[in-house]
Structure 1
Amino acid sequence: MNSVLNLKTVKNKVAKTVEAELQRTGGLLRLAPCWVPRSFLQPGKRLKLHPDDLYAYGLNRGGIDERWFASTTPAANEGRVPDEGLSYVVVGKQRFTLQQAVAECGATLIGSKIWGKYKKWPVYSKFFDNMGPIPHHMHQSARQAALVGQEGKPESYYFPPQHNNVGNNFPYTFMGFEPGTTKAQVRKCLENWNKGDNGILDLSKAYRLKVGTGWLIDPCILHAPGSLCTYEPQWGSDVFGMYQSLVEGREVPWSLLVKDMPKKHHKDLDFIVEQLDWDKNVDPKFKDHHYLEPVPVADTRKEGFVDRWIVYGKVDGEQLFTAKELTVDPGAKATLTDKGAYGLICVQGLGKINGEALNSPKLIRFHELTEDEYFVTEDGAKAGVTFENTSETEPLVILRYFGPEVNPDAPAMGAYRKNKFN
């Protein structure tokens, strides 16, 4: 039973199955890999997906350079298959979407506070893996996205060492604009769209990406992610606008600039420029306000494990998502309690989670099941989840991300500078 092709897909009435599985596992739901292609990008080949399957959706759909975790968010891809972007729960010989499980079980899975406010799991995370840089782009705010019936998207980055043995072609990310940049200069770049390279990167600044660090990116901030494989906790939306016309010699169509803007403004250059949060883009202390380094939750190495905050901070005063990285030493155990539900991915090692198999595979075929991804309910997280490293030589490393306002004790932006455990 190592393939999704051998599973029966159930589309409704999954509540009893979910409840029985949670009782058996102590609050865990095992998830199958969720692969997402992008037609305008080149895969970075670090997702552990078999090279023969990089174009499993078809060459016309583009290569697979993303894997989404605990996702109830559809991918906004042209020509997408109906369930693209949705994670599947695997129970015995059946599978059903996490989206359906949340719809039927609600607070049982994600907690009463998140369910009461959002009526869904409003966040997701993914690996983004590209060979080179991608276009300078922004994600709309909640207010802007609502104009086209969508939700805004703040996001965050962490560059896990386990998926960055090579940096690929351009491990640098352009972010925002140089202080002093004017709106007229950006408007001129849009006017020059069809002349080739519209020169918008001339107005920006690149930061060298460092493995084991990260960034928190507000909506309406331009960024051109570089070529490190990135773990990205973010809001459950797939909106964006690309402001760069040419990347590595590849054309970026105008349609990818305006796809999530009202149709009547698709040629309105002033409207498009005003989509950007100007103060945040030209912030002279941009790095201070967005750069992240890990902060240990506590000094637990003497107990055989260390848990670290890897994503923290707030967007416009709100904590929308957070993430932690757990490392368990060979032969050790760690029982962790958390304040809310989370999605997890095992990026290194071999072990168990509440007695269930947990391991990071070396290579994955497109339809294969894995034992590296789980969703943990709020009750399960609060009761405590036990991670056991069964290897005698290799650490067990797990990344887990949380929903909005779950971790009020998370560090503030810049906390890594005063980390007493360093």
Structure 2
Amino acid sequence: MSNQNTAAQARAALEAGEGILRLAPTWVPRSFLMPGGRLKLSREDLYALGTHRGGIDERWFGSTTPAANEGAPPDEGLSYVVHEGGKFTLRDAIEAVGADIIGKPLWDAYKKWPVYSKFFDNLGPIPHHMHQNQEQAAKLGLEGKPESYYFPPQLNWTGNNFPYTFFGLEPGTTKEDIRRCLERWNQGDNGILDHSKAYRLKPGTGWLVPPDVLHAPGSLVTYEPQWGSDVFGMYQSMVEGRRVPWELLVKDVPEQYKHDLDYLVNQLDWEKNVDPEFKAHNYLEPIVRSGGEEQGFVDRWIVYGTVDGKQLFSACELTVHPGRTATIKDPGAYGLIVTQGSGKIGSLDVDSPNFIRFGEITKDEVFVAAKRAGEGVTFHNTGSEPFVSLRYFGPDTHKDLPAVGDHLKRGAR
């Protein structure tokens, strides 16, 4: 499709939705993981792309970032705009009419939507791994990947096999300790978790995860606003008795360093990994942004704070009570997913389905253009249960973004 045609379609979709685009579900498999079955996708569709591709355990939101999966088609991971029976990628739409969707400041700075979010849903834990920083990823022409976590209560009706996440390394761990773990890669479990600490995961809370910090996510469904990249390196050789190939450790490492153990160890940000106050510096609890019981809604910050002093992404959870309405103004574009209930977002009917077949177009995901977000979007609960949605933002959007730890001072959940 030509850029001119995409521009016309994108503008038509923006006009029809009054600045709000409806998006189709974007499913992503992982060959090295086991799906947890809580994303509402039919169980018979968990391997819809074939067992050789792996089970579907991720759904991506407002994504213009392709998934870095072996054997994947070029559009895997990309969100599609749905309009008048047709569809086109959000990435193509932003390339065609950039500022009209994401706003002039972001378009001028990045010439793309530089972030995305996802649901991650695994049966058990995944390997202790890190995501490279910008400088490291740039060696391969890629981008680094800081990320964040929030555990939506609506999807975590069960914790599955291991609702605990290992973060970082125990204070006192040395680089030589981790080098020895890499030396033992083919001897079974390399023992890297002996040098880490697991934290019990609690629905309705979250974490910031800087690049170059080891983490082994547990089995809660996780909402993950993050930078627009899919780089990683797995540092754990076995998980639940399953082998982790060396190739997943060095997937995003320059060729000359793929067997350089010192380089691999030095990829880690040592100060952040052995931080004795890791939880205090990275743990998040919701903070009320606006609303209350009398107003019939509550809007909460769920992802906030900075990574290395930079505001890279943020997210809010909006709950509107039955029969009530909330008009929310935001200073930037956002991607949104409905996690409970039904209602209207602007002029669009939305609802959170209980059961989704692969390829089905749902009514639970939208992308709100910057101009419309600034003017205000009205959320109306038309159902009999709370109407709950999660929305995430790009970099440098909020002047009033809380800092990590502010939940202890500002309280209100």
Q: TM-score, normalised by structure 2?
A: 0.99
Matched position secondary structure for 1:310 = strand
Residue 340 (structure 1) aligned to one of 328, 332, 347: 332
Mapped pair 1:69 → 2:87: no
Shift of 1:20: 2.3
- Aligned position for 1:261: 253
Residue 155 (structure 1) aligned to one of 147, 150, 157: 147
- Aligned position for 2:28: 36
Unaligned residue ranges in structure 1 (runs of 5+): 1-9
Matched position secondary structure for 1:140 = coil
Hey, what's the Cα distance between the residues in 2 that align with 1:319 and 1:384?
22
Hey, what's the Cα distance between the residues in 1 that align with 2:326 and 2:399?
22
Matched position secondary structure for 2:10 = helix
Hey, what's the Cα distance between the residues in 1 that align with 2:412 and 2:139?
46
Amino acid at match of 1:323: A
Residue 185 (structure 1) aligned to one of 170, 173, 177: 177
Mapped pair 1:127 → 2:124: no
- Aligned position for 2:157: 165
Are the equivalent residues in 1 in contact too, given 2:287–2:411 (CA < 8 A)? no
Mapped pair 1:220 → 2:212: yes
- Aligned position for 2:135: 143
Shift of 1:298: 2.4
Hey, what's the Cα distance between the residues in 1 that align with 2:134 and 2:15?
37
Matched position secondary structure for 1:145 = helix
Mapped pair 1:110 → 2:102: yes
Amino acid at match of 2:382: T
- Aligned position for 1:205: 197
Q: TM-score, normalised by structure 1?
A: 0.97
- Aligned position for 2:308: 316
Shift of 1:14: 1.5
Shift of 1:19: 1.5
Residues 56-107 of structure 1: per-residue CA shift (max 9 Å, x gap)? 1001000000000000000000000221000000001110000000000011
- Aligned position for 1:367: 359
- Aligned position for 1:410: 401
Hey, what's the Cα distance between the residues in 2 that align with 1:52 and 1:364?
11
Residues 397-416 of structure 1: per-residue CA shift (max 9 Å, x gap)? 00000000001211011011
Hey, what's the Cα distance between the residues in 1 that align with 2:16 and 2:85?
16
Shift of 1:347: 0.4
Amino acid at match of 2:59: R
Shift of 1:16: 1.7
Residue 242 (structure 1) aligned to one of 229, 234, 248: 234
Residues 19-44 of structure 1: per-residue CA shift (max 9 Å, x gap)? 22222322100000000000000000
Residue 71 (structure 2) aligned to one of 61, 65, 79: 79
Are the equivalent residues in 2 in contact too, given 1:143–1:152 (CA < 8 A)? yes
Are the equivalent residues in 2 in contact too, given 1:346–1:399 (CA < 8 A)? yes
Residues 248-300 of structure 1: per-residue CA shift (max 9 Å, x gap)? 00000000000101010000000000000000000000000000000000243
Are the equivalent residues in 1 in contact too, given 2:24–2:365 (CA < 8 A)? yes
Question: For this pair of structures, how many residues does the alignment match?
Answer: 412
Are the equivalent residues in 2 in contact too, given 1:11–1:96 (CA < 8 A)? no
- Aligned position for 1:7: none
Identity of aligned residues (%): 65
Are the equivalent residues in 2 in contact too, given 1:299–1:421 (CA < 8 A)? no
Amino acid at match of 2:403: A
Matched position secondary structure for 1:36 = strand
Amino acid at match of 1:334: A
Hey, what's the Cα distance between the residues in 1 that align with 2:48 and 2:411?
47
